Structure 1
Amino acid sequence: MTNSAQIERNRTVVAEFLDGTHSGRFEVIEDTVAETIVTHGFPGGNPDSRESYRQWFLGFQAGFTVVGFDVPAMVADEESVAVRWEFTVDHTGPFAGVPATGKRITFDGTAFYRLENGRIVETWLHIDQLSLLGQVGALPAMANAA
């Protein structure tokens, strides 16, 4: 496979993964994530298998209804894909010890994916947790300022 074909394959795998996991089609994880995924920076603990990765996304979905998901930047090479993303969600279930507020929340972050043989084998995640927690009311001083 040429370098440009490998780069395009990596972009396609990550785009498919993001589209599926952020629209509630978690079966996409079977096709895009390695069984022994290695993760870093996941709030609540780092998933260490394809199934625990899927459970992490299900847990997020239990607290939020996705209203919008945008990827303003994606950069890829032969081994990895970096993504800057923006979320708009409604807080429709308990999260971080806070019952559903019904508030519309917007936050952003980045993810870095390492791929092998067309599958995501390692993920580094950075969520703007301070903004997210403040908007749901888990940080009372910030909730009052918002």
Structure 2
Amino acid sequence: MDEERIYQRYLDTLNERRFDDLGQFVHDRLVYNDEDWTLGRYVGRLVDDVAVIPDLRYDAELVVTGPDRIAARLRFDCSPRGTFLGVETDGRRVAFAEHVFYRLHDGRIDRVWSLIDVEAVRRQSDS
């Protein structure tokens, strides 16, 4: 299995807003930050993110893979509307990173650990 190729296809699907195709990459049930989620909830979260951040683009700065594992540093440079991650951004452009780890089972994501640099967003919205 080529985890890096799978991940790039997953990011392409997100960036092309083909949310109905995410079942190719994500199991029907998964664990997200130690909480049980359904694929529907996962997709709903991504759809909500795009509603708040229409110019959202998933850019991988760093990807490290191993058997059934993916680790990535995603870089975002976008303009969230209103409140984002508890921070009032008022549509101002902010740049921040997400560090995310995935476990794959049978070539699809079944576990996600995600940490978003909220402090970077807060610092930029205060200035």
TM-score normalised over the length of structure 1 = 0.75
Check whether the contact 2:96–2:120 (CA below 8 A) recurs between aligned residues. yes
User: Where do 5+ consecutive residues of structure 2 fail to align?
Assistant: none
For residue 39 of structure 1, what is the aligned residue in structure 2?
32
Indicate yes or no: 2:68 matched with 1:75: no
Bigger radius of gyration: 1
Calculate percent identity across the aligned residue pairs: 24
Check if 1:21 corresponds to 2:14: yes
CA RMSD of aligned residues (A): 2.2
Distance 1:58 1:39 in 2: 16
Residues 1:103 and 2:89 are matched in the alignment: no
Q: Aligned equivalents of 1:32 and 1:128: distance in 2?
A: 25
Structure 1 or 2: larger strand share?
2
Range with greater deviation from structure 2 (103-112 or 18-27): 18-27
Q: Answer yes or no: is 1:125 the counterpart of 2:114.
A: yes
Structure 2: how far apart are the matches of 1:122 and 1:25? 21
Q: Which amino acid aligns with 1:107?
A: F
| Aligned counterparts of 1:84 and 1:98: Cα–Cα separation in 2 | 22
* Structure 1 stretch displaced more, 31-40 or 12-21: 12-21
Check the 8 A contact 1:114/1:122 in 2, yes or no: yes
Offset, 1:98: 6.1
Distance, in Å, in 2 between the alignment partners of 1:62 and 1:47 is: 24
Report how many aligned residue pairs link the two structures.
127
Structure 1 position 67, deviation (Å): 5.3
- 1:1-12, aligned counterparts within 5 Å? 6=1, 8=2, 10-12=3-5
For residue 140 of structure 1, what is the aligned residue in structure 2? none
SS of equivalent to 1:13 = helix
Can you give the 5+ residue segments of structure 1 that lack an aligned partner in the other structure?
A: 1-5, 138-142
| CA distance in 2 between partners of 1:65 and 1:19 (Å) | 16
Say which SS state the counterpart of residue 101 (structure 2) adopts: strand
Instruction: Give 1:55's aligned amino acid.
Output: G
